[in-house]
Structures are given as structure tokens and as C-alpha cells.
């Protein structure tokens, strides 16, 4: 197996899991809070960078009001507490 296919497959698996959670999130606020925490855990989110990888340089990150403000993540619908200096396993460098 080519080493470059492993991150792509991991990204696709995480993306599929995130999409599968959208209906659960849409039906109830209580499920949303639990799902949000579960997705953070599944993506191994941390509020500190992993080397040079951080949320501010990820294509999934939705910036906040300014460069240092918390933002959101396309994979964590409704979550506005994502640190620009954070990191998770779904990190993909911005083009």
C-alpha cells in the first residue's frame, strides 16, 4: 500500500463519520452537545498544535472574528469554540 493513500483514507473515513452524525445533530440540542464532544474525541482534538499543523492552517477551519479568536470547523457543525492553535487528526493543509 502506498504511504500517501493512508492519510487520504483516514480523511475519508472521518468525513463519512462526520456526515453520518449530521441527522442526529439536527434533531435535538442534547444530542448535539453529546455528539460534539464525541466528534472532538473521535477526531482527537486538542487545543495545542501538532508541530507546524494547527487549525488556522487547516482547510476545515472556519476563522473567528479575528486571527486569534476561536472559530469553527466544517466537520464539527455548530462548534464555535475551535482554537486557531488547535489540532485534530482531520487536519488538511490549506491549498
What is the pTM (predicted TM-score) of this model? 0.62
Residues 6 or more apart from 70 whose CB is under 8 A from it?
A: 64, 80, 81, 82, 83, 84
| pLDDT tens for the 95 residues of the chain, in order | 565 567 888 888 888 888 777 766 565 554 444 457 888 999 999 999 999 999 999 999 999 999 999 999 999 888 888 999 999 999 999 98
Q: What is the CA radius of gyration of the chain?
A: 13
Query: What helix, strand, coil percent values describe the chain, rounded to 5?
Result: 40, 15, 45
Amino acid at each position: 500500500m502506498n504511504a500517501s493513500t493512508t492519510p487520504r483514507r483516514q480523511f475519508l473515513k472521518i468525513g463519512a463519520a462526520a456526515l453520518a452524525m449530521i441527522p442526529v445533530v439536527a434533531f435535538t440540542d442534547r444530542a448535539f452537545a453529546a455528539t460534539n464532544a464525541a466528534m472532538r474525541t473521535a477526531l482527537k482534538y486538542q487545543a495545542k498544535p501538532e508541530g507546524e499543523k494547527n487549525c488556522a492552517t487547516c482547510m476545515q477551519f472556519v476563522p473567528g472574528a479575528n486571527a486569534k479568536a476561536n472559530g469553527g470547523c466544517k466537520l464539527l457543525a455548530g462548534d464555535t469554540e475551535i482554537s486557531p492553535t488547535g489540532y485534530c487528526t482531520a487536519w488538511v493543509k490549506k491549498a
